[in-house]
């Protein structure tokens, strides 16, 4: 490649397309094709591996705790994931507003936005805890969650843990949204 690296092809020192040879372009295309192929194969491999490990973990967990207990656990874990999205659109609005504030260079505005978003999501979490935990303690267990062969105290304890996990999950979604927004902002400014 005449001493040039493929990433140098877009360098400002190459002012015309004539300076980039057909050989350099072919090399760049080949490198890009190899990178796409490697990313595709890695993605497929990770999906297959994750699926196989998931199936294996289900088999081990069912044998370890039993069918009914495993059903209770997976239901509660699924509910934590669903309630974790209970952010009333605050996460997406934060991403949008954050990009506008960053474009203006408003650091104080960014801090206020993140603090307000976190405060709102924390209030939602507190509301979940204040509604679920008394409900778990006051409502008869037959109405809450019927699981034959599982002790009532275990069900109630699981539901309290579910409420606590949900209370953590709701504001925690803001962290991943902020990370995504910062990557998005940094990729548009470079």
- Calculate the CA 126 to chain-centre distance: 22
64 close to 150: Cβ distance less than 8 angstroms: no
| 189 and 161 fall within a common domain | yes
Q: What is the pLDDT of residue 184?
A: 63
Mean pLDDT of 83-99: 82
Q: Do 46 and 86 belong to one domain? A: no
Q: What is the mean pLDDT of the chain?
A: 78
**DSSP letter, residue 12:** T
State the total domains in the chain: 2
Last residue of a domain, one of 65, 81, 97: 65
Q: Per-residue pLDDT tens for 115-133?
A: 999 999 999 889 988 888 8
Asked if 167 and 183 sit in the same domain, the reply is yes
- 171 plus 99 within the same structural domain: yes
Domain's final residue, options 65, 84, 103:
65
For the full predicted model, state whether its pTM sits above 0.75.
no
Give yes or no for residue 66 having a pLDDT over 60: yes
CA-nearest of 141, 181, 178, 183 to 158 is 141
d(C-alpha 101, C-alpha 109), whole Å:
6
Residue listed under structure tokens 């969650």: 145
Residues 35 and 88 in one domain: no
Please write the tens of the pLDDT for every residue from 141-186: 667 677 788 788 887 888 888 888 888 888 888 887 787 777 666 6
Q: Is residue 93 pLDDT above 50, yes or no?
A: yes
What's the domain range around 22? 1-65
Q: Are residues 33 and 86 in the same domain?
A: no
């Amino acid at each position: 490649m005449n001493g040039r690296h493929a990433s140098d092809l877009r360098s400002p020192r190459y002012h015309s397309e004539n300076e980039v040879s057909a050989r350099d372009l072919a090399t760049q295309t080949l490198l890009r094709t190899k990178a796409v192929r490697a990313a595709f194969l890695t993605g497929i491999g990770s999906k297959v591996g994750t699926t196989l490990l998931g199936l294996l973990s289900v088999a081990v967990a069912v044998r370890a705790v039993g069918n009914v207990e495993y059903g209770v656990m997976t239901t509660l874990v699924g509910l934590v994931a669903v309630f974790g999205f209970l952010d009333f659109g605050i996460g997406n609005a934060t991403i949008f507003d954050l990009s506008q504030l960053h474009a203006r260079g408003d650091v104080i505005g960014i801090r206020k936005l993140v603090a307000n978003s976190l405060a709102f999501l924390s209030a939602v979490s507190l509301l979940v805890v204040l509604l679920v935990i008394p409900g778990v303690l006051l409502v008869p267990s037959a109405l809450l969650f019927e699981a034959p062969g599982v002790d009532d105290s275990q069900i109630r304890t699981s539901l309290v843990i579910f409420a606590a996990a949900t209370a953590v999950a709701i504001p925690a979604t803001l962290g991943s949204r902020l990370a995504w927004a910062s990557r998005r902002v940094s990729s548009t400014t470079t």
